[in-house]
Structure 1
Amino acid sequence: MTEGTPMRHLPYVGSGPYCYANSFAMLLGAQAPSTAVIEVTTAGPFGMQLIGGTLMFFDGYGWNPELGFDRALAALGWTSTVSKGGDADEALARLAAAARRGPVWVGPVEMGHLHHQPEMTGPIGADHFVVVLDVDDRRVLMHDPHGYPYAQVPIGDFTAAWRADTVSYGEAFTMRTDFVKTADVADADAIRSIIPAAIGYLSACPDLEMPPGSLANGEAAERTAQLIEAGAGDGMREHLIYFAIRVGARRLSDTADCLLLAGYDEAAAIAATQARLVGSMQHPMVTGDLPAAAAALRELAPTYDRLRAVLR
């Protein structure tokens, strides 16, 4: 890009860790909005959080995926039935009965127990969502949106994953069925409906009580920059390069597209800038140029207040 020439935002199309949005899109079928609209209507992309001072995500302070699901469905004009809990045998019987009626949205599950994914040998604390197609006494047949259609997973592995006892939120054996469209909602109207929630996250008003040491938005960006400069240890580098940067840049790119669609042109420009800054961290984090990654975070830090101001 020539110096001084503003970069035009281009919507991203491609792979990425969009498991719950992709799973919802499969269940909603021909009437599904884009995965971008599904993702943004959770209100997740609005902000940054450093949980307990150590675990960072490019999403709203105090947000987790489960908190956004009912919000997204309501914004889009859909409902579903949620069931969870019980013991493993009860849960599997419930899942098998539901799968006989149609595909079932399942999660969170612990990705590390899904051994059809290469290099997954045990729990890693990673949440994931899948669509279950069939269950018998030996295996679960699923569409795994991480890139594995019609994956067959042994019952024992699936049950261990679905118990989700190494995932930081949610309850064991959670699934959604009976997806029903209750209203025709334009994509732009769905995006407009979640703006108050977006402002709340950008104002650091969490939905959940946060652990001591947690930081939001600009403060989270500055502290994460310091941790990166100190070596990005204790798994931070791996978390960033394999997940957080990829999903963060993708959802911010989608946020820019959705805000533009809804008529928030100035906010869309800020989100596009955020997407470029987050995406710019991938190469330096992989190659070890930690000061460059930290510098991108410091440039990102003030954009959260700017985005909140223009959305208000």
Structure 2
Amino acid sequence: MFSTENCECGAVIDIPYRGSGPYCYTNCLAMMLGADAPEAAVVETVTGSPFGMQLVGGSLPFFDPWGWNPDIGIADALAVLGWTADTISGDDAGAALDRLASCLVRGPVMIGPVEMGRLRYQPGKTGPIGADHYLVALAMDSEQVTVHDPQGYPYARLPLAEFTTAWRADTLDYGRPYTMRANFTRRSRVDPADAIAASVPRAISWLSGKNGADMPPGSLGNGDAAVALAAHVESDCDEELREHLVHFAVRVGARRLADAAACLRQVGHLAAAAIATEQARLIGSLQYPLVTGDDAAAGDILRALALTYDELRVSLERQS
């Protein structure tokens, strides 16, 4: 019989995470950059996504910075990695399809944000759910678009009408209709470590919590967001909030912080890496209590997490 009396294996072993997860725009960027793409961990880190937390409108949590969204992160990542791309959007579906057809002659095209709930090749998706997603378009004919969907659907096909409805993105809280990125061009060769180091000032800026001027009323960032979410979870964690946390926010939040820790360690920010690792562990540990309904335990974890955002900012500032 197993006994815990002499068990001293409670310390968490620290190795990089490898596996599935909702890294849609990062994996799309990696596909577009091709053989020259750095590891997904580097791409995600230099988008800035790991460096903060936001509670949008006081109710919708994301483990990414206050005022941040993937469009901002994609632009930042391309710049620091030495790449450019043409970002094109517009209000007319027919014109958008014409532009897509023209760009596909030259190569793949990054599509998004799109409304994930309208991608009906994904099981269970029957209508809008307010979830953003990104795809890589590979081909188009008079009836269908063929895409690589990084959610786990290579060479998926979608009828044009359904594709354009998803691409309109009118159920999302950021982005313009029919946005695509094409003509990816490498302007300079940037070592991944140099890109990570160059992104640190931007990470500090995100952690400062000064970038949320355009957020909806009631929005909170970083420690304030974590404390408010703790109270919300403990008092009224409805099904919609719980599903959002356990299927998306916790999974991506823990992974991106684990990746950020590895990247920070690579460039000598050892103290900051240790804090990011602790953040990853705290967020990852939310999964079980949230799934099983132990909301008091989840609240305690979130309050512990709240203390770490200023710690991470101060640590990065000291070494910069």
Tell me, yes or no, if the aligned pair for 1:106 and 1:176 is still in contact at 8 Å: yes
1:23 aligns with 2:28: yes
- 2:294 is equivalent to residue 256 of structure 1: no
* C-alpha deviation, 1:263, in angstroms: 1.0
What are the equivalent positions in structure 2 for 1:174-213 lying under 5 Å apart?
174-206=179-211, 208-213=213-218
Cα distance in structure 2, aligned partners of 1:101 and 1:289? 52
Residue correspondence of structure 1 range 57-96 to structure 2 within 5 A: 57-96=62-101
Question: Which of 53, 67, 80 is the aligned partner of 1:48?
Answer: 53
Give the Cα separation in 2 of the matches to 1:201 and 1:308. Answer: 9
**Which residue is 1:288 aligned to?**
293
Q: Distance in 2 between matches of 1:205 and 1:167?
A: 23
Percent of aligned pairs sharing the same letter? 55
| Residue 302 of structure 1 pairs with residue 302 of structure 2 | no
Using the size of structure 2 for normalisation, the TM-score is: 0.95
What 5-or-longer segments of structure 1 have no aligned partner?
none
The residue number in structure 1 matching 2:132 is 127
1:221-300 aligned at under 5 Å gives the runs: 221-233=226-238, 235-300=240-305
Do residues 36 (structure 1) and 41 (structure 2) align? yes
TM-score, normalised by the number of residues in structure 1: 0.97
- 2:155 paired residue among 150, 155, 166: 150
Q: Distance in 2 between matches of 1:109 and 1:168?
A: 11
Q: SS in structure 2 opposite 1:266?
A: helix
Q: Distance in 2 between matches of 1:308 and 1:27?
A: 32
In the alignment, the residues of structure 2 paired with residue 7 and residue 244 of structure 1 have an alpha-carbon distance, to the nearest angstrom, of 22
SS in 1 for 2:15: coil
Code of the residue aligned with 2:143 in structure 1: it is: R
Distance 1:171 1:248 in 2: 25
SS at match of 1:29: helix
Q: Which residue of the other structure, out of 160, 164, 167, is the alignment partner of 1:162?
A: 167
Equivalent AA in structure 1 for residue 286 of structure 2: M
2:122 counterpart of 1:117: yes
Aligned alpha-carbon RMSD (Å): 1.4
Q: Quote the offset at 1:7 in angstroms.
A: 2.7
Aligned equivalents of 1:177, 1:213: Cα separation in 2:
36
Q: After the TM superposition, which segments of 4 or more aligned residues of structure 1 sit over 6 Å from their partners?
A: none
User: Does the residue aligned with 1:193 lie in a helix, a strand or coil?
Assistant: helix
CA distance in structure 2 between the aligned counterparts of 1:171 and 1:61, rounded to whole angstroms: 20
Q: What is the total number of aligned residue pairs between the two structures?
A: 312
Show the counterpart of 1:107: 112
Please report how far the alpha carbon of residue 40 of structure 1 lies from its aligned counterpart in structure 2 after TM superposition: 0.7
SS at match of 2:236: coil
